[in-house]
Structure 1
Amino acid sequence: MIYQDPLAFLIGLEGVALLDGWAGDHDREFTDARLAEIRRLLDDEKLRDRGVHAGWAGPADIYQQRSASYDAQAGGGLFDVDVPFVTEFLSDRKPGVALDAACGTGRFAELLAESGHQVIGVDSSPDMLAHARQRVPDGEFHVGDVERLPLPDDSVDVIVCALALVHVPDLAPALAEFTRVLRPGGDLVISDVHHELVTRGSAIKGSDPGGEPRIVTTCRHQLGDYLRPALSLGLQVKRCEEPHSNRAAGPLPEPTTEIGDWQDWPWSLMAYMPSVVRAASGRPSLVIWHFQLPDP
C-alpha cells in the first residue's frame, strides 16, 4: 500500500532544492527563501489531512481506463522530450520492419510509418491498440507484452520502446526478447521514465472496480539495470541521453489556488507551488538509450 500526501510531496521538493544549495548550487538567500516557504506550507490549510492510500495495479488494467485521455494527459510533457531524440537516433536508418514495443496509442508507430517503415505494434491493452490502429491503418498490431513478444526470431530491423519499461520490475527478460526478434545490425531505441522523475511522482493512476485508488506498478531503474543485461546479450551502446523538461525557462507562472484531486497529483501540486518546482528543476526526466545488435 502506498501513502501519498501533498504536503509531504511539496516539502520533499523543497528538500531537494535545499540539498542543491548544500552542494553549492545556491546562496544563503536561496536557502532562507526555501526555509520560509516550508513554514508557509506547514501552515497551509489546503494541504492538511489530504493524504491518499493507494494500491498497485497492472499496466493493462489502468491503461484501459486512461486510453482515451492518455495522449492529452499522461505524457506529462515527456512526449515532447523523447521524440526529437528517438527521431535523431534513427535518422540514418533505412526503412525496414519496425516494432513499436508497448506501442500504446501508436505515437511512435505513426512516426515510424511516416519514415517508410513497415510497422508492427505490440501492447498489453486492447483499448490502447484500438487507438493505434486508427493512427496507423496499415500497421500490424498484436496484444502482447514486452517479455513475450508474439514475433519470430530475427524478424525486425528497428525496435522502439517508449515509456514502458518503467513498469517492468526485471529488465532482463524484456531486453532478451528485444534481442531475440532484432535482426543483426538492427537498432533498439528505448525511452523510459528516469528514476529521478519516478521519485518526483510520475506514475499513471486509476482505480479498481470498486473505485479504490490504484497506481500502475512503477519501478525506479538505475542506468546499470539497463546496461548489465543489454551488454550480456551482445547489444552495443551507441548513445545514452538523460534529458529533462526545461521548467526553468521563462518567467515563473502564477500559482494555482487549488491542489486538485489525487488523480491530478503531482502535476497539479507543481502548479500550486511553481516556485518549488523551479527550485528543484534540472534533474533528468527520461533516459534514452540507443543500442545496436552487431552483425556476426
Structure 2
Amino acid sequence: MIYQDPLAYLLGIEGSALLDAWAGDHDQAFVEDRVAEIRRLLADGKLQNRGVLAERVAADVTYQQQAPDYDANAGGGLFAIDEPVITEWLARREVGVALDAACGTGRFARILADLGHTVIGVDGSPDMLELARERVPEGDFQLGSVDRLPLADRSVDVVVCALALVHVSDLGPVFAEFARVLRPGGALLISDVHRELTTIGSGIKGLGPDGERRLAPAFRHPLGDYLRAALAARLELRGCEEPALHWDDSPLPRPSTEIGDWPAWPWSLMAYVPEATRAVSGRPQLLLLHFAQPAS
C-alpha cells in the first residue's frame, strides 16, 4: 500500500523549490516566501489528518477505468509535447509497416496511418483497443504486452511506444522485444513520462468496486535505464529530447482555497501553492528517444 498525505506532498513541492533556490534559480524574496508558506501549511487545519492509503495494481486495471476519458484527461496535457517531436522523426522515414506498442486509444496509430504506414497496434487493455479500432479502422489491433509482442521477428519498420514504459519495472525485456521485431534499418521512437514528472505525482488512478483507491505502477527510470536496455539489444541512439513546460510571464493564479479529494490529487494540491508549483513544473515532463536498428 502507498500512503499519500497532502501536507507531506505540499511540503515536498516547497522543498523542491527551495533546493532549486539553493542552486541559484530563485532570489531571496522567493526563499523567504517559501519558508513563510511552509509555516502556513503546517498550521493549516485543512491539511491535518488527510492522508490516505492507495493500492498499487496492474496498469491494465486502472486503464480500463481511464479509457473513455484518457485522451481528454490523463494524457491530454502531454500529447502536445511529444507529438510534434515524434511526428518530425517519423517524417524522415519511408513508409512501411509500423507498430504502435502499448497503443492505448490509437493516437500514434492514427498519425502513422495518416503518414501512409500499414499499422499494427498492441495493448494490454481491451477497452483501449476498442477505442483504437474506432479511431483507426484500417489498423490491425491485437491484445498483448510490450515484453511479449505477438509479432514475428523482423516484421516491422518502425516501432512507436508512448507513455507506457513508466509502468514497466524492467526495461531490458521490452527493448529486446522491440529489437526482435524491427527490421534492419528500422526505427524505435520512445516517449515516456520523465522521472521528474513522476516524482511530483503524475500517475494513472482508478477506483475499485467499493471505492478503494488504486494506482498504476509508476517507475522513476533514469535515462541510464533506457540506454542500458537499448544498448544491450544492440540498438543505436539517434536522438534524445527532454522537453519541459515553458511558463510565460503571466500573473500567478490565486491560490485555491480547497485541496480537493484524492481523485483530484496532486493537481488540486498544486493549485493550493501556485508559486512553488510553477517553480518546480519547469522541469522536464517527458523523455523522448530515437533509436535505430543497425542496417546489417
Q: Secondary structure at the match of 2:95?
A: coil
Aligned match of 2:127 = 127
Q: Secondary structure at the match of 1:291?
A: strand
* Distance in 2 (alpha carbons) for counterparts of 1:41 and 1:253: 18
Deviations 1:219-277 (A, max 9, x none): 01011101012112111100111111234553322333222221111111122221121
Q: Give, as a single letter, the amino acid of the residue that structure 1 aligns with 2:190.
A: I
Shifted more, 145-154 versus 270-279: the winner is 270-279
TM-score, normalising length: structure 1: 0.97
Aligned match of 1:151 = 151
* Distance in 2 (alpha carbons) for counterparts of 1:129 and 1:200: 29
* Distance in 2 (alpha carbons) for counterparts of 1:26 and 1:263: 32
Instruction: Please list every run of 5 or more consecutive structure 1 residues that lacks an aligned counterpart in the other structure.
Output: none
Aligned residues: 296
* Distance in 2 (alpha carbons) for counterparts of 1:197 and 1:173: 24
Q: Secondary structure at the match of 1:71?
A: coil
Shifted more, 256-265 versus 10-19: the winner is 256-265
Aligned match of 2:13 = 13
Aligned match of 2:218 = 218
TM-score, normalising length: structure 2: 0.97
- After superposition, where does 1:194-205 map in structure 2 within 5 Å? 194-205=194-205
* Distance in 2 (alpha carbons) for counterparts of 1:112 and 1:272: 40
Q: 1:76 to 1:50 in 2, by over 3 A?
A: farther
- After superposition, where does 1:97-246 map in structure 2 within 5 Å? 97-246=97-246
8 Å Cα contact 2:70/2:76 also seen in 1: no
* Distance in 1 (alpha carbons) for counterparts of 2:64 and 2:258: 28
* Distance in 2 (alpha carbons) for counterparts of 1:235 and 1:79: 26
Q: 1:294 to 1:109 in 2, by over 3 A?
A: same
- After superposition, where does 1:26-45 map in structure 2 within 5 Å? 26-45=26-45
Question: Deviation of residue 208 (structure 1)?
Answer: 2.8
Identity of aligned residues (%): 63
* Distance in 1 (alpha carbons) for counterparts of 2:34 and 2:22: 12
Q: Secondary structure at the match of 1:161?
A: strand
Q: Secondary structure at the match of 1:160?
A: strand
Instruction: Please list every run of 5 or more consecutive structure 2 residues that lacks an aligned counterpart in the other structure.
Output: none
Question: Deviation of residue 76 (structure 1)?
Answer: 5.5
Shifted more, 158-167 versus 44-53: the winner is 44-53
Q: 1:277 to 1:96 in 2, by over 3 A?
A: same
Q: 1:227 to 1:27 in 2, by over 3 A?
A: same
Q: Secondary structure at the match of 2:98?
A: strand
Q: Secondary structure at the match of 1:68?
A: helix
Q: Secondary structure at the match of 1:74?
A: coil
8 Å Cα contact 1:148/1:177 also seen in 2: yes
RMSD: 1.2
Q: Give, as a single letter, the amino acid of the residue that structure 1 aligns with 2:227.
A: L
* Structure 1 runs, 4 residues or longer, greater than 4 Å off: none
* Distance in 1 (alpha carbons) for counterparts of 2:114 and 2:46: 48
